[in-house]
Structure 1
Amino acid sequence: MLAASAMEIMRTIQTGFQYLALMQFTAYLIPPQANVQSGATYDYIIVGAGTSGSVIASQLTEDPHISVLLIEAGGDAPLESTMPAAVAFLKNSSYDWNYIAEPDLHSKQCHRRSSPEVILGKMLGGTSSLDYMVYSRGHPTDYDNWAKIVKDPTWNWENVLPYFKKSVKVDDENFLKSADSAKNYGSDGLIGLTIDNRDYVNNLLESCSEMGYDIVTDPESSIGYSKMLVSIGEGERHGSGIMFLKPAKDRKNLHVLKNTFVTKINFDDKRNAIGVEALTEDGKTLILKAKNEVVVAAGAINSAKLLMLSGIGPKKDLESRKIKVISDLPVGQNLQDHVSVMIPIAMETIAEQPVDPHVYLAPPVIGYVALDKSQKYPDYETVSFYAHARQLLYYCAYSYAFTYHICDDIYMLMHGQDEIGKMGLMTDIVHLNPKSRGEVKLKSLNPMEPPAIHVGYFSNEDDINDLVKYIQEFIPIVNTTFFRRIGAELVETTSGSCYDFEAGSDDYWRCYTTCVYTGLNDYSGTCAMGSVVDSKLRVYGVQKLRVADASIMPVITRGNTNAPVVMIGEKAADFIKEDYKTKYC
């Protein structure tokens, strides 16, 4: 089986990268392991050196009077995390938490595993060190909606935009010449953004225009199709861990504990968070103290788990496990994620030049589309990846985890009898505002045991019906002038699983959707503003405890969540500075 062989090759390469990790190629970029003794006291303890935790630590330690302990369950981000072309090798490695969700309502019959994989970064930079680097902020109306939910205008688009601008640098003069781009993007931040400007991208955009969609410069503020922004600078991934911790690596007031697992938040008898308990990789338990605050930035899954183990969560659930309830809150509920359906299109080559390894699968075009053309916000997103059939075989088997039989069929349909073979355009149709919700629960009192993750995909069937509409609106692209010229055709992906239904019918696409759907690992909402934390991210019912990661999103943003989490980290740092400014004046 071709796909099975591809998987063996992927695992062999992964093993090679593990040996390379022993060389510690990235160690010079980030703070070294701190020597911290049990009983040590800091002004702030930050749990999680991921997307937002790295930002907060970097921002707070700009003041030399503030001491910060940053605790990360994983270690340094490896060399392959900096290489865009190696993105696929990080999943299911030691840099991934390797969680598996509980069995879902819909069996994933097109995948090798019936339960969804939960891909989360376990290293400095967290998931920003292993995601696919698609840069998306969501739509401005998302943040206006947050502001209404929490009754605080500091979260509306006008007030979060400066934080987005602050963190990025776009080295593309033509892009910045656009009025919207100049208004919405910066050129002095730490995270570099790259745009794919090769000629064939324009051909794809022309096809989208032929279908009646607007072609826009800034994908964040307008509905339509555009060239994609990726968080790559000078050919390297720009994740939060390296980009924000590198400037802080020599600061004496920043201590970083790596490979250290926080097991509990400690409180005094007045419900003040006073520190944490943590377990080192050699089995030692540390009791660490925080004068001002504990900030939890471990991500939507692990932050919820830690709060519940510490006595903050649904009273009934905690009491059933004999956990002392500190604050009765709906922690772990409202779990949200985007869900997508992959549409493969086979075609003759559309580029004379080979795929640039710095742009990995060459994601040339992104679309934000509304079914109602008068609507101001998008319903779905399309993310297109262009590559040779051989390369797509690896992504089919490894990244999408489809069955080997399906991947072999896709490869043969794309490759055909031609020795050179065809190229493929794989497009993810992403539901941007799903109604389905999941939850995170404790499995036991053992902090080292993964939580029970119920992703809840398609728990609301409206999401299936919506995706069917989105697919049907997208697939006519194969009939546009350019796609006809290069012999484009849809590729059957389910290997006969949906043959009982008329091809192209609503029932066929419903079957297709529930067969090949994939979660995007944009987990959010488990410690939502308005129900678990206030608009300054402080946990209700206790003092000196803040949560600052994707878990605080009351509603998931319309787009990949990495950039919004950087913004959340920036805002959290400012909230903390504002609350304690008199102390250091």
Structure 2
Amino acid sequence: MQAAQGNSGAMAAEVDFIIVGAGSAGAALANRLTESGKHKVLLLEAGAASHPYSRMPASFGLLISDPAANWCYKSTPEPATANREIAVPRGKLLGGSSSINGLVYVRGQPLDYDTWAQRGNRGWSFDDVLPIFKRMENYEHGADDMRAQGGPLHVCESYDQSPLYESIFRAGEAIGIRRNPDYNGAEQEGFVRTQTTIKNGFRQSTAVAYLEPARKRPNLQVVTGALATRLILEGKRCVGVAYRIANSEEVEVRAGREVIVSCGGVAAPQLLELSGIGRPDVLKPLGIEVKHELSAVGENLRDHINARMVWRLKQRGVSYNERMAGLIPRGWQFLRYLTTRRGFMAMPSAPILGFLKTRQELETPDIQVHVMPYVIRDAKRRLLHDWPGMTMTCYQLRPESLGTIHVRSSDAREHPEIRFNFLSDALDRQTMTDGLRLIRKVAEAAPMDPLRGEEVEPGSGATSDEDLLNHVRNTANTAFHPVGTCRMGPGEDCVVDSRLRVHGIAGLRVADASIMPTMVSGNTNAAAIMIGEKASDMIREDHPN
């Protein structure tokens, strides 16, 4: 097969496997399925091949609202979040969201995966997935029982330096929170240096780590700009995919073995519903023929609602606000990046993290804190204030509130309706207010005295649960981690089984973050890549020849 990009002229009429979506999971899956040379694989990606800014780590801010690289979804306004439309960025290019994200690498806690297994998903316990995480990574800081080197995905600690970071570590220790040398190791708890998917100052998306080497193989065909419009079903079997490039006519391609949907937490349920797989009460009013009733499609959405607190800093030169204020300082940072691959342009979204317990009786951390040496003035354009400051954000690691994602139209070009239903669960509300109080306690600890100025958001006067919850409702955004909309499990309230096969439809799997039964404790990109890797194992087991 000749590799194709953005066209269908050289496409074979039938391949063994079609993967829809070249994101975090789909790119890893395409690499592994083509390793042996036995299988012909077609990888369809609706977005572009790349973006000129994507390889630079700071592109997470530049591309957060850029439609050239981002689907730019928005949630439906809801009273619990002050009737705001909340931006839902999702990557729209090879590598998917791994090509535009904040580059934070978090596996999650062993409890997360053991919970999946306990819910009837055999083969997904932490002991089962740890070898896959190790296979994925090339951990710059050494190998041991929990970490590995030699994998395709480079992982290292953030190299950024600031007196603020040491002050945060010492403030944590002052209130009983330890420094943790490896939160992806034996224990997650503590303040930590962020582990990040950056190598030599460049982003390591799955497009770089997995697809670049795989695209040299003659048995992998990649087509970009290909928007999947529906899955082709013959009875209760999926036999192919229909897609369009721009405004061209619909193209149909067939899979001799399987179709794997790897579109992510937003687009995966949308594609199933466009194909007539889902809830009749959603599909019939839109004129979509119900070909297979599956009530869990688009249900069970979880995401992290991310709330911020902001402080002015008394010392200059500690934050990036003044180091990025004006053309000359910005030019210096850009020159520094070009010559050393360091500085603001080479930094992940948060160089310091905290995995903390809001209640000491808890067995494991229940919130994640991000420490950022800057304050954003214009969230849409990612512009910084001109006064020195720091931002600390937190989200509940395992939220209980459930939302939905469903199609609004039979047209694949129209974005689905996203309803987060944030803060509907009482535990979520209490954890978020307790989390903000804990952040404030860290910021007010004695080691922060030389640096800490006034609290700007929500302000020191916001002390009650109601005050803090109103701040969350009015200002918090998603952390960009939608999962669960094609939930894995054995029951009728799930979409796929433990081998990621869609219940009731042969020849069809889903392999991306949408299959997560519950939220992992942290950023979801590492777990999504692991899902793509594990899916490749199961598919190769089922199709050995």
Gaps of 5+ in 1: 1-29, 401-406, 416-420
Contact 1:34–1:256 (CA<8 Å) still a contact in 2? Answer: no
Cα pair distance change 1:556/1:503, threshold 3 Å: closer
Match of 1:307 in 2: 272
Matched, 1:259 2:242: no
Identity value in percent? 29
Normalised to the residue count of structure 2, the TM-score between the two structures is 0.89
Cα pair distance change 1:192/1:31, threshold 3 Å: farther
DSSP-derived class of the 2:144 partner? helix
Count residues with an aligned counterpart. Answer: 512
Matched, 1:96 2:70: yes
Cα pair distance change 1:535/1:68, threshold 3 Å: same
Contact 1:39–1:286 (CA<8 Å) still a contact in 2? Answer: no
Mapped partners of 2:304, 2:252: distance in 1: 38
Question: Cα RMSD between the aligned structures?
Answer: 2.3
Mapped partners of 2:63, 2:162: distance in 1: 31
Amino acid at match of 1:82: R
Question: After superposition, what is the alpha-carbon deviation per residue over 1:401-460, rounded to whole angstroms, capped at 9, x for unaligned?
Answer: xxxxxx8xxx4xxx5xxxxx42x2211111111111110112121222111111211233
| Residue 37 of structure 1, CA deviation | 6.0
Matched, 1:196 2:179: no
Contact 2:70–2:92 (CA<8 Å) still a contact in 1? Answer: yes
Contact 1:349–1:486 (CA<8 Å) still a contact in 2? Answer: no
Matched, 1:121 2:121: no
Cα pair distance change 1:56/1:36, threshold 3 Å: farther
Higher mean displacement: 189-198 or 71-80? 189-198
Question: After superposition, what is the alpha-carbon deviation per residue over 1:233-292, rounded to whole angstroms, capped at 9, x for unaligned?
Answer: 1100111112101111211111111101111111113x1111011111241211100000
Mapped partners of 1:505, 1:35: distance in 2: 60
5 Å-filtered alignment, 1:239-250, equals: 239-250=205-216
| Residue 334 of structure 1, CA deviation | 0.4
5 Å-filtered alignment, 1:206-355, equals: 206-220=170-184, 221-269=187-235, 271-329=236-294, 330-347=296-313, 348-349=315-316, 351=318
Mapped partners of 2:527, 2:155: distance in 1: 15
Contact 1:50–1:297 (CA<8 Å) still a contact in 2? Answer: yes
Amino acid at match of 2:77: P
Higher mean displacement: 64-73 or 349-358? 349-358
Contact 2:156–2:199 (CA<8 Å) still a contact in 1? Answer: yes
Matched, 1:562 2:525: yes
Amino acid at match of 2:453: A
5 Å-filtered alignment, 1:14-93, equals: 32-33=5-6, 35-36=8-9, 40-93=13-66
| Residue 365 of structure 1, CA deviation | 1.6
Mapped partners of 1:297, 1:46: distance in 2: 7
Contact 1:37–1:286 (CA<8 Å) still a contact in 2? Answer: no
Contact 2:357–2:367 (CA<8 Å) still a contact in 1? Answer: yes
Matched, 1:469 2:434: yes
5 Å-filtered alignment, 1:524-543, equals: 524-530=483-489, 531-543=494-506
Contact 2:368–2:396 (CA<8 Å) still a contact in 1? Answer: yes
Amino acid at match of 2:107: R
Amino acid at match of 1:453: I
Matched, 1:544 2:507: yes
Mapped partners of 1:485, 1:432: distance in 2: 31
Mapped partners of 2:214, 2:7: distance in 1: 14
Higher mean displacement: 334-343 or 279-288? 279-288
| Residue 351 of structure 1, CA deviation | 4.4
Matched, 1:513 2:472: yes
Contact 1:223–1:378 (CA<8 Å) still a contact in 2? Answer: yes
Amino acid at match of 2:23: G
Mapped partners of 2:232, 2:11: distance in 1: 14
Higher mean displacement: 510-519 or 360-369? 360-369
Question: After superposition, what is the alpha-carbon deviation per residue over 1:42-93, rounded to whole angstroms, capped at 9, x for unaligned?
Answer: 0000000111111111111112121000000001121211101232111221
Contact 2:280–2:293 (CA<8 Å) still a contact in 1? Answer: yes
Mapped partners of 1:529, 1:361: distance in 2: 31
Cα pair distance change 1:100/1:222, threshold 3 Å: closer
Contact 1:350–1:486 (CA<8 Å) still a contact in 2? Answer: no
DSSP-derived class of the 1:534 partner? coil
| Residue 493 of structure 1, CA deviation | 4.5
Higher mean displacement: 54-63 or 318-327? 318-327
Normalised to the residue count of structure 1, the TM-score between the two structures is 0.83
DSSP-derived class of the 1:512 partner? helix
Question: After superposition, what is the alpha-carbon deviation per residue over 1:102-147, rounded to whole angstroms, capped at 9, x for unaligned?
Answer: 11123547xxxx2111111111000111111111111110000001
Match of 1:384 in 2: 371
| Residue 223 of structure 1, CA deviation | 1.4
Matched, 1:522 2:506: no
Mapped partners of 1:507, 1:452: distance in 2: 29
DSSP-derived class of the 1:81 partner? coil
